[in-house]
């Protein structure tokens, strides 16, 4: 081995050794990334290098490993419905991607109880706590455990046909009952706490959490609800009716949407990821979820500031309250 080769090998070996100032050993972080995005692959590489340099182990799904530039020290695990323990022993789930990837990460976070820290590589990313340019800060905060954890409401969803429960699901953002055929209206009757509210034809109904109030429910004309507010939302989608307004109910209310017998089949979507067909006469019930999703927070900025930043709202001319 030449002198230059020896020096290079020594440098690489030193780079792989944990930095003494970087926290205790035995810590593991789970990394989930949108491997279809070049930005996510590069971001994953930077995060993995930073964590390993500080002696923090990194666990990654084996199905994603082939698309990521991972060192041999990264732990690979198989994921599936028969592997609810893939995050066992992990202190944090870091998700790199857009809203869809963050909602995918929420499935892992809810199932395991591990807090999720989202890094937005998409457009809006209300669930994300950091942006692509914040990767160094993300690694530093993870290493020093300089983050807080908050819980977000979820929805428990069940589908009944002929009085029998035929499907159960959950959602972090929303459960939406929608028409399956573009050319036909979906006729529904909405219900709150066992009492009918309104019957109308339209494109469907969104039942959302405050977290989901800035997602599909917002696009359907629903209100923005601050995450600290405990409530459920019911928002009609393009309803043909005189009274089909968004409703904000108590957090312990039970919302129901009944697909009328004479209408075409509908479809239930949970967070835009999981779907099931709704035959005519089906009934969808939505209530507060028994299991929340835990989110890791790096910033103390108010939700108002987050709203203004994410939607690029015009605030020029604001002078603030008089002192």
Backbone phi and psi for residue 200, each to the nearest 5 degrees, phi listed first: -160, 165
2 marked ligand binding residue: no
Find, among 232, 63, 236, the residue nearest to 157 by Cα.
232
* Distances in whole angstroms, Cα of residue 61 to Cα of each of 40, 41, 54, 98: 15, 14, 21, 18
Give me the half-sphere count of Cα atoms (radius 13 Å) on the Cβ side of residue 124: 16
Instruction: Identify the burial level of 217 via C-beta atoms within 10 angstroms of its C-beta, where 0-12 means exposed, 13-18 middle and 19 or more buried.
Output: buried
Cβ neighbour number for residue 125 with a 10 Å cutoff: 19
Residues 67, 82, 85, 99: which is the catalytic one? 99
Axis-axis angle for helices 3-16, 38-53 (nearest 10):
90
Q: Using CA atoms, how far apart are residues 119 and 129, in angstroms rounded to an integer? A: 6
Cβ proximity of 249 and 286 under 8 Å: no
Cβ neighbour number for residue 277 with a 10 Å cutoff: 12
Beta strand residue intervals within 162-231, DSSP E = 164-171, 174-179, 186-192, 195-202, 204-208
214 marked ligand binding residue: yes
Instruction: Give the chain's largest Cα–Cα span.
Output: 83
216 marked ligand binding residue: yes
Residue 140 falls in the annotated catalytic set: no
253 marked ligand binding residue: no
217 marked ligand binding residue: yes
215 marked ligand binding residue: yes
Residues serving a catalytic function are: 99
Binding residues for NAD(+): 99-100, 104, 173-174, 184, 203, 214-219
């Amino acid at each position: 081995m030449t002198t230059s080769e020896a020096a290079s090998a020594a440098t690489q070996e030193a780079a792989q050794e944990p930095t003494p100032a970087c926290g205790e050993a035995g810590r593991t972080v789970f990394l989930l990334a949108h491997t279809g995005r070049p930005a996510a692959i590069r971001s994953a590489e930077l995060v993995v290098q930073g964590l390993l340099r500080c002696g923090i182990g990194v666990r990654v799904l084996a199905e994603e490993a082939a698309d990521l530039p991972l060192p041999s020290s990264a732990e690979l695990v198989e994921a599936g419905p028969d592997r609810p323990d893939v995050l066992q022993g992990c202190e944090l789930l870091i998700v790199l991607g857009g809203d869809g990837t963050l909602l995918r990460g929420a499935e892992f976070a809810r199932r395991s109880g591990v807090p999720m820290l989202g890094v937005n590589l998409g457009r809006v990313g209300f669930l994300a706590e950091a942006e692509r340019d914040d990767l160094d800060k993300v690694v530093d905060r993870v290493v020093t455990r300089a983050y807080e954890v908050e819980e977000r409401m979820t929805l428990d969803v069940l589908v009944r046909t002929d009085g029998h429960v035929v499907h159960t699901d959950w959602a972090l953002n929303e459960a939406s009952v929608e028409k399956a055929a573009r050319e036909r209206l979906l006729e529904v009757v909405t219900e709150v706490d066992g009492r009918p509210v309104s019957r109308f034809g339209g494109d469907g109904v969104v039942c959302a959490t405050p977290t989901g109030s800035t997602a599909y429910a917002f696009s359907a004309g629903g209100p923005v609800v601050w995450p600290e507010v405990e409530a459920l939302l019911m928002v009609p989608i393009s309803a043909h009716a005189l009274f089909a307004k968004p409703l904000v109910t108590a957090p312990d209310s039970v919302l129901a949407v009944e697909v009328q017998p004479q209408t075409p089949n509908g479809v239930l979507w949970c967070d835009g990821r999981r779907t099931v067909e709704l035959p005519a006469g089906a009934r969808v019930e939505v209530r507060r979820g028994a299991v929340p999703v835990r989110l890791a927070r790096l910033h103390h900025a108010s939700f108002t500031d987050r709203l203004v930043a994410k939607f690029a709202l015009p605030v020029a001319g604001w002078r603030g309250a008089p002192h």
